[in-house]
Amino acid sequence: MLTAIAAHFVLAAVLPLIARRWGRGAFVVGAVAPALTLVLAVSHADDALAARHPTETLAWAPGIGLEFTARFDELALLMILLVSGIGALVLCYYACYAKPGDRAVGRDSALLVLFAGSMLGLVLADDVISLYIFWELTTVCSFLLVGGDGLTKKLRKSATQALLVTSLGGLSMLLGLILLASASGTTRISEILADPPGGGVVPIAVVLILLGAFTKSAQVPFHPWLPGAMVAPTPVSAYLHAAAMVKAGVYLVARFAPAFSDLPAWWVPIVVLGLWTMVLGGFRALRQHDLKTLLAYGTISQLGFLMVLVGAGTWITALADVTLVLAHGLFKSALFLTVGIIDKRTGTRDIRELSGLGSRWPVLTAFATLAVLSMAGVPPLLGFVGKEAAIEGLLTGDPKDLALLAGVMLGSVFTVAYSLRFLVGAFGTRPTVAPTKAPPSGVAMTTMVGIPAVASLVLAFAPWIVEPVLAGYADTYPLPAPDYHLALWHGLTLPLLISAVIIAAGYAMYRASLAPKLAGWIPERMSAQNGYRAAVMGLDRGALSITGRLQAGSLPTYLGIILVTMVVLPGAGLLAGGPLSPTELRAWDSWMQLPLAVLVLAAAGTVVLARRRLTAVLLTGVVGYGIGALFIVDGGADLALAQFLVESLTLVVFVFVIRRFPPRFVDARPYFRRARWVKAGIAAVAGTFVAVLAVLYSGSRDGLPEASRFYIENAESATGASNVVNAIIVDFRAFDTIGEIAVLAVAATGAASLILARARQRPPSLAALDETDGTDETDGERTEVKR
Amino acid sequence: MTVLVALPVLLPLFAAALSLIAGRSPRVQRLLGVGVLTAIAAIAVVLLLETDRNGPVVLQFGGYAAPFGITLVADRLSALLLLVSALVTLAVLIFSIGQRITDYGRQTASTAFHPMYLMLCAGVSLAYLTGDLFNLFVAFEIMLASSYVLITRRTTAARVRASMTYVIVSLTSSLLFITMIALVYAATGTVNLAALPAKIAELDAGVQSSLALFMVVVFGIKAALVPMHFWLPDSYPTAPAPITAVFAGLLTKVGVYALIRTQTLVFIHDASWTVLLVIAMLTMIIGVLGAIAQNDLNRMLSFLLVSHIGYMLFGLALFTVLGLAGVILYVVHHITVQAALFLTSGIITRHTGTVSLQAMSGVAKAYPLVAVLFALPALSLAGIPPFSGFVAKIALLQAGAAVGTPVAYAVTAAAVVTSLLTLFAVTKIWVGAFWGKVAEPHADPDPTDEVTVGTGSTSKGMLVATGGLVAVSVLIAVFAGPLAAMSERAAADLLDGGAYQTAVLGADGGGR
Amino acid sequence: MTVNITMVIVLAGLYTVGFYLLMQRSLMRVILGIVILGHGANLFLQVAGGPPGEPAFVGSAVIQAMVDPLPQALALTAIVITFALTTFLLALAYRSWALLGHDEVQDDVEDRRIREAAERDEDSDDSDTEPSEAVAGFEAPEASEEVPR
């Protein structure tokens, strides 16, 4: 199984090269991978059906729960029939559909095969992380396939919307899956399902997972991305947006339903949104003129229907659900491929411009009619078989199920009506419109339409071919299996009557053209597309507003915020920590400290007030010398010496630089003057805070630390120096000194280039000349040689 | 073996000196730089294998046993980061050499660039390897001083303001660093990292947590945690592309490394860590919102950088093995990917002549290779599977879910939201710059400024260097298994702390 | 360890003045602030070593009477490093003055642009005009809109 997935990816990697050589033949080559997968899956169907469920694992990073696990069971088998079967079909179809010499063939074929592989991985995945990985891969493929080369704004918008909406769901699903896995202690889906966790975060996890399913399967209110994605080439729409990718949401729900179908957090959102989606999609479909968009809304409606059936959570509805998943995949791909032929041959897919195609392409019309009838749930087609089962399953007498039945009936009436609208619109003859001129529909492409259409017919008469697979899935519910079998004819039963009523009502609705008259029935403000626009715009505006407010661009503000943080964070830690051991306080150690302290403080205070640069610099010098004197008092002779030396050097450099500056500080503008007191406040609080910490921390220890004692004891014997501070610097901690020298060298280099750069700077005209000849760098980088 | 620990510091230091002397011979400078960085990468591999097999490698510098001399320690975490940093600095150097050759020709000497770059590498290596708090300060200063010189090289009127912001904020953080060392010394009487835990454990709870948070502030400025991040997007994007790449990729991560090292080694986990979770959440969200608001490609990437620092703090603040393993994976991934993105951005702006996303168009069609070089790290940054960012993100999310407190859940959710918004921002770049019609390059907006945006061709060296980094990020994903296992062992070491202390201080637990 | 109030007050004063100057607009004042903060930090290192004592010369006094030599050594290194970086910053100020003709620390241009955009956006909140780059088209409108498929 894993090999099959990998084979898709490898093939996708080489397809661009094949396309360069064989042009659109690359699609046929690409079809080999899904076709072989289909054959393999069918030939090994026994493994899945006999409940052996073979499992393969490939460890990736098992320590953090990353591994690929594939498990082949009934649901996976059913999905492979769709994913690989339709995939191979669509790829072959695309080979005829693409224009010869189209440069996009390499990219599109590779992406489609990559997508087929990801879909295969998605339906086989048995651990939550691989499930997400393949899920997100399909999203990325969809983005690139819809966007194409992104030449028009419409393409870009649609692709982006599809990406963002499905990623929103994908990520929330990931979070849900992780919560679920962490609640159940395993990442294996089969193990989670076998022993579902309960309580605590599980309802939240379940809702998050559902969000993923709803976005992917275009449920209200996330659905608008799907009609938007119809800008993609029609084969892509047929595969991604009808047969495979949008089914991923339904698949996800179906996968987890056996474990959670009793949980209200699970079924309530599913049936409410599902019904809403089913009705809204059908209603919208009735108002479309573009055949493809009509089908897209039809897909939305059908996906809602499928959701409702899983949400209903009985054995028969589960059976009906998977039957309809299969039926929908078959008829919807056939219909999309039909639209592709119409679009390619006539250049339009607008109902109002098409006329007389039915008589021109009788074979295609016959196939499309089969598919449409299956969609409408008319016997003798697979769609009817599924719908019968669905109605049967909802006829339990439970009020909840009855309510669901009513909703499903309404949705089905819409379905019948838009099915007719599609069929007549595409193939009917309009007296007011001149018959559409069109070349023959093409044998190869028509055959591709015929395969799924005829399959809908054959399977309706012989449901036993697939029933073991479908019933096998329904059996995974912890419910007793009733004696129910898929069949065209159950006798004269209530479901049959309901079906008849639906078809009749649908026909009436189509004849009455009710839906267009209801235009404006849904207020524009409530439309989901507006919701998406508002969300994106809100995000942009919110980001702009927050960033505009926070990112002031002003260095003093930034430093102020840093200082406040420096007080608030450790301050909070201090307060939260409880009582502290007391520190002994003394007024001073030596009376000399007192006048020096006053001198230093007075000088420092005056720096703030100084108007002239030189005064400020000299006062800073006084502070430095004062500190040096304090070092002497403290017993740090070497330190004091260094301090005096460095202070003198600093003064020299300062004086050298401020010679160039105007003698007085430029006075602050009034706007900034107001901030002065805020700054003073912050500075005072932060400064005092540091001093307070100094007091509090010093109470913690006593006496000379062991390292210092070691230095004093060993300085002479180890280094031969009697000056311990020197011994530390040049010997015990020599590595610091090496670093210090490195910093000095770097700073000197930098300062030299900055100062000397000016001497070499030339007028812009000459600098521009320098750029063109490029033999000499225009700044002073070479100058450090003089150092 | 132990001498190997000193080489990643000493080699670039001496090479920097030689490079300065050889200022008139560009060939020698180039060979020195590439040779030394390759050597560091090789040494890092040996150290990594050795530490993983036999525990930390310790060098007592000058032969004085800890805590008296300065100790250099390579454990799994520092060896791993050393390796990744060496690879990234090497790639950036090759990119830079390629760019200089394209712009100025083979013979143009560049006296300052190579020595300063090697100094920077020496500082970074020392920061990873030192086992002494004050020496860590010295390492920071070597690194920062070289970065000041690199960011102010060829500065123009438009850029001098930005470099000033950078230098002043960094100096402030350095002065707070000294203050912190004084506080530590006042409370404990030692600056040896391995000797600190025992002394810290004797302190009052309030002193412990305030000291821990003071360190968060000091290193948080460097790592650009919200609300101490504002300087970063204002200054990094104005440097030349390779410089921005190495600053964004490495310098912030050195801050993160210092956070991880000090917080895990020195402090016990208590309730004040909730504060860190909140900071992590704010960093993620405010950073990514900032990115969405930008129109300048480099500024957007800088805000994304800030945002993703939040992920690293998130894992650290969880303080579990899985969380820390996630942080280590995230750091390794992010160093590579962020550097690759900035390099690619450098190539893009050379082709388009603008950093404005609104003004760019059609890069994918004109330069498909550049599109691939951007798309892979960008998807990785957004955490799209199966790239490296996804691996790291999964580890963090699982760690968050496993902790299971309300705050942890909230931050986990914030991490997911950030992931989505990152994808939004990255899509914005993709849609704006890569799709659409091929546009004519814009005229250079400021001809006197030859570094920020300059139109010109790209050489093979630049593409190879960027491609190499992208390949490294892909390899991180491919070898996620062994890497994650190694990260878990490193994380377990960090939480335990015993191995580090024993290796430095000896089995009896301290001195003689 | 006992703490000397005089020195603590000096520390508080130096840090306050340093922090205040740091937040000024004039680059020269900012540099002076950094110098004074540096003095404060170095003095703090010395204070952290404990009460004053005899200078640490081997044999000049009993060990107990000596001052702790390690903080002095650290402070020495820190003083030199601070000096080196101050010099560099002064050179940067010099360069900035040469390029800009003033030494004021100005606001970031791009940040201001975004702030103004945000303010404009809020002013125009009532009107329904959408920002051109919004709604995930992400770019300015362009001429050709037909789908070439």
Domain that holds residue A387: 268-517
Contact B157 C99 (CB under 8 A): yes
The DSSP line for A692-719 is HHHHHHHTT--S--HHHHHHHHHIIIII
pLDDT at A519: 54
The per-residue pLDDT for C130 is 45
**pLDDT score for B323:** 93
What does the angle CA A559 – CA A560 – CA A565 come to, to the nearest 5 degrees?
95
pLDDT tens readout for residues A133-147: 999 999 999 999 998
For each successive 10 residues of chain A (787 residues), what is the average pLDDT? Answer: 92 91 90 95 88 89 89 94 94 91 87 96 94 95 89 90 95 95 92 88 94 94 93 93 92 94 92 94 89 94 95 93 95 95 91 88 94 93 94 90 94 94 91 84 91 95 91 90 88 91 93 65 65 90 90 90 95 84 79 92 92 92 94 87 94 89 72 78 96 88 84 85 87 91 93 74 41 36 34
Q: Which amino acid is at B141?
A: E
Asked if residues C96 and C103 have their Cβ atoms less than 8 Å apart, the reply is yes
Tokens describing residue A221: 């209110």
3-state secondary structure of A221: coil
| CB-based contact, A763 to chain C, within 8 Å | no
Structure tokens at B421: 């918004």
Across all residues in chain B, what is the average pLDDT? 90
What's the pLDDT score for residue A774? 34
Residue B372 dihedral angles phi and psi, to the nearest 5° = -65, -45
What is the total residue count of chain B? 512
Closest CA to B83 of B392, B396, B331, B340: B331
CA–CA distance, A687 with C76 (Å, rounded to integer): 23
The tokens for C88 are 């560099």
Q: Could you tell me which chain B residue has the CA closest to the CA of A60? A: B481
- Which stretches in chain C have pLDDT values below 50? 126-134, 139-149
DSSP letter string over B10-40? HHHHHHHHHHHHTTT-HHHHHHHHHHHHHHH
* Model pLDDT, residue A667: 63
* C51: helix, strand or coil: coil
pLDDT digits (tens, 9 = 90+) for A177-215: 999 999 998 999 999 999 999 878 899 999 999 999 999
**Angstrom distance (rounded) from CA A681 to CA B228:** 19
* Cβ contacts of C84 on chain A, cutoff 8 Å: 743-744, 746-748
Q: Where are the domains of chain C?
A: 5-100
Residue from B404, B391, B424 nearest B277 by CA: B404
C47: nearest CB among A694, A699, A754:
A694
User: From the CA of B280, how many Å to the nearest CA of chain C?
Assistant: 23
Per-residue model confidence as pLDDT tens digits over B291-345: 999 989 999 999 999 999 999 999 999 989 999 999 999 999 999 999 999 999 9
**Whether the Cβ atoms of residue A337 and residue A235 lie closer than 8 Å to each other:** yes
Do A732 and B65 meet the contact criterion of CB atoms below 8 Å apart? no
Note the pLDDT tens digit of each residue in C53-84. Answer: 888 887 777 877 888 899 999 999 999 999 99
**Residues 687..706 of A with a Cβ closer than 8 Å to C: which?**
687-688, 690-691, 694-695, 698-702, 704-705
Q: Looking at the complex, report in whole angstroms how far the Cα of residue C61 sits from the nearest Cα belonging to chain A.
A: 11
Q: Give C-chain residues touching B67 at CB under 8 angstroms.
A: none
Closest to B251 (Cα-Cα) out of B318, B162, B149, B335: B335
Count the Cβ atoms, other than its own, within 10 Å of residue B67: 26
Q: With CA atoms as reference, report the closest residue to A10 among A148, A90, A113, A159.
A: A113
Q: Is A633 exposed, middle or buried (CB count within 10 Å of its CB: 0-12, 13-18, 19+)? A: middle
Chains near B, with 3+ CB pairs < 8 A? A, C
Segment holding B406, helix H or strand E? helix B406-429
Query: What does the pLDDT read at residue B287?
Result: 95
Higher pLDDT, B167 or B440: B167
In sequence order, what are the beta bridge partners of A67? A59
- The answer for A397, left when phi > 0, alpha when psi is -120 to 50, beta otherwise, is left
- Collect all residues of chain B within an 8 Å Cβ-Cβ radius of residue C38: 175, 178
Question: Over the stretch B437-472, which tens digit does the pLDDT of each residue have?
Answer: 888 887 766 655 555 556 667 788 899 999 999 999
What pLDDT does C143 receive? 36
Buried b / exposed e over B71-100, threshold 16 CB at 10 Å, is: bbbbbbbbbbbbbbbbbbbbbbbbbbbbbb
Contact, A411 vs A487, CB < 8 A? no
Would you say B13 and B119 are in contact if contact means Cβ atoms under 8 Å apart? yes
Q: Is the dihedral of CA A359, A364, A369, A375 positive or negative?
A: negative
Please tell me the distance from the alpha carbon of residue B271 to that of residue A578, in angstroms, as a whole number.
13
Q: Which residue of B has its CA nearest to A741?
A: B142
Mind giving me the DSSP string for A62-96?
GGGTEEEEEE--HHHHHHHHHHHHHHHHHHHHHHH
Q: What is the DSSP string of A614-660?
A: HHHHHHHHHHHHHHHHHHHHHT-HHHHHHHHHHHHHHHHHHHHHHTS
A678: tokens are 């805020």
DSSP structure class, residue A720: S
CA distance B448 to B444: 9
Count of the separate structural domains present in chain A:
1
User: Does A392 map to a domain?
Assistant: yes
Span B37-44, average pLDDT = 96
pLDDT at B209: 87
Is B207 in contact with A697 (Cβ distance < 8 A)?
A: yes
Number of cross-chain residue pairs from B and C with Cβ atoms under 8 Å apart = 117
pLDDT at A573: 87
CB atoms within 10 A of CB A464: 11
What is the number of CB-based contacts under 8 A between chain A and chain B? 364
- Reported ipTM: 0.95
Residues near B114 by beta carbon (within 8 Å), at least 6 away in sequence: B16, B19, B29, B30, B32, B33
Which region, left, alpha or beta, applies to residue B62 given φ > 0 means left and ψ of -120 to 50 means alpha? left
- Shortest distance, CA A128 to any CA of chain C (angstroms): 30
**Of A63, A540, A710, which is closest to B68 when you measure between CB atoms?**
A710
- Which residues, at least 6 apart from A611, have a Cβ–Cβ distance to it below 8 Å? A664, A665
User: Which residues of chain B lie closer than 8 angstroms to C111, CB-CB?
Assistant: 234
Is residue B111 situated within a structural domain? Answer: yes
pLDDT, position B72: 94
Beta-sheet pairing, B57-61 with B70-74: antiparallel
Three-class SS state of C31: helix
Please tell me if residue C14 touches chain B, with a CB cutoff of 8 Å.
no
Q: How many domains does chain B have?
A: 1
Q: Give me B77's structure tokens.
A: 């975490």
Give, in order, the Cα–Cα distances in Å from A293 to each of A108, A288, A298, C113: 22, 7, 8, 42
- State the burial class of residue A204 (Cβ atoms within 10 Å of its Cβ: 0-12, 13-18, 19+): middle
- What is the chain A residue with the closest CA to B434? A150
Domain residues for the domain of B397 are: 2-441+454-505
Taking the complete model, does pTM exceed 0.95, yes or no? Answer: no
Question: String of b and e for C36-71 (b: at least 16 CB within 10 Å)?
Answer: bbbbbbbbbbbbbbbbbbebbbbeebeeeebbbbbb
Determine whether A760 is exposed, middle or buried from the number of CB atoms within 10 Å of its CB (0-12, 13-18, 19+): middle
Q: Rounded to whole angstroms, how far apart are CA atoms A402 and A395?
A: 7
Single-letter residue type at A32:
V
Total residues found in chain A within this entry = 787
pLDDT the model gives residue C66 = 84
B55-64 confidence digits (pLDDT tens)? 899 998 888 8
Rounded to whole angstroms, the Cα distance separating A448 from A601 reads: 91
The CATH architecture assigned to C5-100 reads: Orthogonal Bundle (1.10)
Identify the chains in contact with A, defined as 3+ C-beta pairs within 8 A: B, C
Is A747's CB within 8 Å of C84's CB? yes
Cβ proximity of B90 and B34 under 8 Å: yes
Note whether B181 contacts C74, CB cutoff 8 Å: yes
Choose from B111, B134, B169, B171 for mutation: most chain A CBs within 10 A: B111
Burial of residue A344 (CB within 10 Å: 0-12, 13-18, 19+) is: buried
Nearest C-alpha in B relative to C108: B234
Cβ–Cβ gap A771/B203 under 8 Å: no
> What is the distance between the alpha carbons of residues A265 and A272, in angstroms, rounded to a whole number?
12
